[in-house]
Amino acid sequence: MSLTDSIIGRPLATSEERAEHIGVAAGIPIFGLDGLTSAAYGPEAAMTLLIPLGIGGVEYGWRIISAILILLAIVYFSYRQTIAAYPGGGGSYTVASENLGEKPGLLAAAALMIDYILTAAVGISAGVTALTSSVQGTRFAGLQSHTLLICLIILVILALVNMRGVKDTGTAFMLPTFLFVSTLLALIVVGMWKTVHAGGHPMPMAPIPAALPATVGTLGTWMLLKAFASGCAAMTGVEAVSNGVMAFGEPRVQRAQRTLTVIIGILMVLLFGIAYLAKTYRVMPMDPDAAHFQSLLSLLVTAVFGRGWFYFLTMGSVLLALALSANTAFADFPRLTRAIAMHDYLPHVFILRGRRLLYSHGIYALTGFTAVILILFGGVTDRLIPLYAIGAFLAFTLSQAGMVVHWKKGEAHPGRGWHMFVNGIGAVATGITTIVVLVAKFRAGAWVTALLVPVLIGIMWVVKRHYSRVKREMADLTPLNLVNLQEPIVVIPMARWDRITEKAMRFGLLLSKEIKVVHVHSDDEEGSLDELWHEYVMDPIKKEGLQEPELVTIPSNYRFVINPLMDYILKLEEDNPGRKVAVLLPELVVRHWWENALHNQRVQLLKLLLLLKGNQRIVVVNIPWYL
């Protein structure tokens, strides 16, 4: 077994695709880990903005999370209907394109692409934050200064795991998902049990930092809306199941719906439980810039269990799950880019499936973009959150609006009115939330997303125009044209006579009777091709009675080689209208990749210039010599 097979698995035949389909158990970690782990940072993102209220911000945080849970329930019922209506994968791009038109579809596509990139970046960043906050006060406290490096290492590991295929990825992530969910459920159950037995006022098991002193008595509507907008990060990833329906085995729709139900059910329990414990234990998030910063989850586990083995088990599971939550983006981003590329809005390379039946180039692109985002923002979660939710909620809104049109255009049936009502409520709710998130987070960084969306749409329009032009020019339904067929004029650039140029000359004699060997000669060059021409080229040709090639020697006083060659070839093409000019370029093929830097620089440059400045009548032919 090769090293590649050991790392990313053996190649899979197309006939093995059915064996790669997954069930509910594997679907939860693949498509739900992003949504589930958002419980680890969503409530904290909302409550951090309530720090000016001191401990009084707990009550407001509880209300904000309650509002988010209502919105989450609305989106859940909407996407159940989307899965049923689009069993082939009903992501926002597909639904919006088919029902709202091309422009809304591109808007959804751009929003989703940004959302998935930020999903990967925020998940990894939040996981590393959980790690660095859990080791504060230990000898590993210095890890915080290596946050970005740890983020990039985890990103590479995730990309390699995902290259193994959907089924292997689900199996690998099942245990971390179960551990994350079970430890947080244990935290909630034990915390609630202690709350009941303490009469609603439990005492922390270990000292926790006190909330910062209140600097205001109440917060205005604007600050509450900003806190709500930050907390909505807990809803990202909800669309993933509807976009990946094709990954499930039959009955596909039922399995996808059950997977979505389990994911949303667990997420609602986790959000409710964390907000409830923060309220009863009177725990507020710390200032992210504090010297000994700890996450909200770290404070809650300390309060309920202390700093024993369960604390480190829980924080370890949170770290692992958060880091792996980027897998949701890896599962859906390649499917999204494929759907967009099928309509010619992205390079067609995204349509190709790799050795493990994956759309591998989507994985490569996601890995690269995520690395750029992490580097730009230093791997800090709080800097990424403001960019995060707007793309998801814009996609939610367009998808649900598209579903309303879908039901309206479809055949009348008893449940059509109810379906339209559910998706309509979802569209209105998520649309209002989109506006709130955009306005509330605009100055904090949402303007970046608002700027990137039209930029991406512009790029997709340019790609579409290119493919449309290529299709127009390449379309040819006429019979083969055999009029005015002539041998090409063969041009062979030749610096010296050796085994490579001999091979080029032999091939040129097969192509045409009109061969022009072009030699650029400078004054400081030792020797000349003229001295060997008659003995090694002309005499053997005359002996065989073949058509004699012409040696064209171009003097170059300033030692330029490429420019004189280009001028000669372009002039030759201009002087011979209707004739093709075949330029034979001899080049070495080396044994090791690094040896390419030692050879063929002029050949590669000449080839590039011929492609850029040439036209349909100039043909470039490589003549390789294998070392």
- For residue 378 the two structure tokens come to 């230093």
**DSSP letter, residue 215:** S
- For residue 555 the two structure tokens come to 């003097």
Strand order in the sheet with 489-493: 550-555, 515-521, 489-493, 581-589, 618-626
Provide the mean pLDDT of the chain.
Answer: 82
Hey, is 247 helix, strand or coil? helix
Residue 503 predicted with pLDDT over 90: yes
Cβ neighbours around 148 below 10 Å, total: 16
What is the Cα–Cα distance from 329 to 122, expressed in whole angstroms?
Answer: 11
User: Quick one: pLDDT at residue 435?
Assistant: 81
Average pLDDT over residues 88-94: 76
- For residue 356 the two structure tokens come to 């493990």
pLDDT in tens, 109-168: 898 888 888 888 877 887 777 677 666 666 666 677 778 888 888 888 888 887 877 667
Residue bearing the bigger pLDDT, 219 or 511: 511
Considering the chain, tell me which residue range(s) the CATH 1.20.1740.10 domain(s) occupy. 21-467
Q: Where are the beta strands (DSSP E) in 397-494?
A: 489-493
Residue 465 predicted with pLDDT over 80: yes
Instruction: List the one residue out of 108, 32, 58, 427 whose CA is nearest residue 211.
Output: 58
pLDDT grade for 386, boundaries at 50, 70 and 90: low
Residue bearing the bigger pLDDT, 358 or 83: 83
User: Quick one: pLDDT at residue 212?
Assistant: 62
What is the Cα–Cα distance from 33 to 37, expressed in whole angstroms?
Answer: 6
User: Quick one: pLDDT at residue 517?
Assistant: 93
- For residue 455 the two structure tokens come to 């930029």
pLDDT grade for 54, boundaries at 50, 70 and 90: low
User: Quick one: pLDDT at residue 22?
Assistant: 79
In terms of DSSP H, where are the helices of 446-600? Answer: 447-474, 499-511, 530-533, 539-544, 562-575
**DSSP letter, residue 49:** T
User: Quick one: pLDDT at residue 35?
Assistant: 81
Cβ neighbours around 376 below 10 Å, total: 12
- List all residues 6 or more positions away from 86 whose beta carbon is below 8 Å from its beta carbon: 94, 95, 242, 245
User: Quick one: pLDDT at residue 285?
Assistant: 77
pLDDT in tens, 392-403: 778 888 888 888
- C-alpha atoms less than 13 angstroms from C-alpha of 293 in its C-beta half-sphere: 18
User: Quick one: pLDDT at residue 179?
Assistant: 92
pLDDT grade for 489, boundaries at 50, 70 and 90: very high
User: Quick one: pLDDT at residue 141?
Assistant: 63
Residue 494 predicted with pLDDT over 80: yes
User: Quick one: pLDDT at residue 117?
Assistant: 87
- Using CB atoms within 10 A of its CB, is residue 588 exposed (0-12), middle (13-18) or buried (19+)? middle
What is the Cα–Cα distance from 210 to 137, expressed in whole angstroms?
Answer: 17
44-58, 111-125, 557-571 — which is least confidently predicted? 44-58
pLDDT in tens, 278-322: 888 888 777 766 667 777 888 888 888 888 888 888 888 887 887
User: Quick one: pLDDT at residue 231?
Assistant: 73
Considering the chain, tell me which residue range(s) the CATH 3.40.50 domain(s) occupy. 489-626
pLDDT grade for 377, boundaries at 50, 70 and 90: confident
- List all residues 6 or more positions away from 117 whose beta carbon is below 8 Å from its beta carbon: 329, 333, 366, 369, 370, 373
**425, 100 contact by CB (below 8 A):** no
Q: Spell out the CATH class of 21-467.
A: mainly alpha
User: Quick one: pLDDT at residue 258?
Assistant: 92
pLDDT grade for 421, boundaries at 50, 70 and 90: confident
pLDDT in tens, 324-375: 877 778 888 888 898 899 899 999 988 887 766 678 888 899 999 999 888 8
pLDDT in tens, 233-281: 677 777 788 877 888 888 888 998 999 999 999 999 998 888 888 888 8
Strand partners, 586: 623
What is the Cα–Cα distance from 577 to 146, expressed in whole angstroms?
Answer: 64
Whether the bond between 251 and the residue before it is cis, its omega within 30 degrees of 0, is yes
126-135, 445-454, 610-619 — which is least confidently predicted? 126-135
Q: What is the architecture of the domain spanning 489-626? A: 3-Layer(aba) Sandwich (3.40)
Average pLDDT over residues 71-100: 83
Among left, alpha and beta (phi > 0; psi -120 to 50; other), residue 600 is: left
**134, 315 contact by CB (below 8 A):** yes
Task: Output the furthest CA–CA distance in the chain (Å, rounded).
Answer: 112
User: Quick one: pLDDT at residue 139?
Assistant: 67
User: Quick one: pLDDT at residue 462?
Assistant: 93
pLDDT grade for 411, boundaries at 50, 70 and 90: confident
pTM of structure: 0.76
Average pLDDT over residues 83-108: 84
Q: Which helix (H) or strand (E) holds 297?
A: helix 296-305
What is the Cα–Cα distance from 113 to 285, expressed in whole angstroms?
Answer: 31
**79, 242 contact by CB (below 8 A):** yes
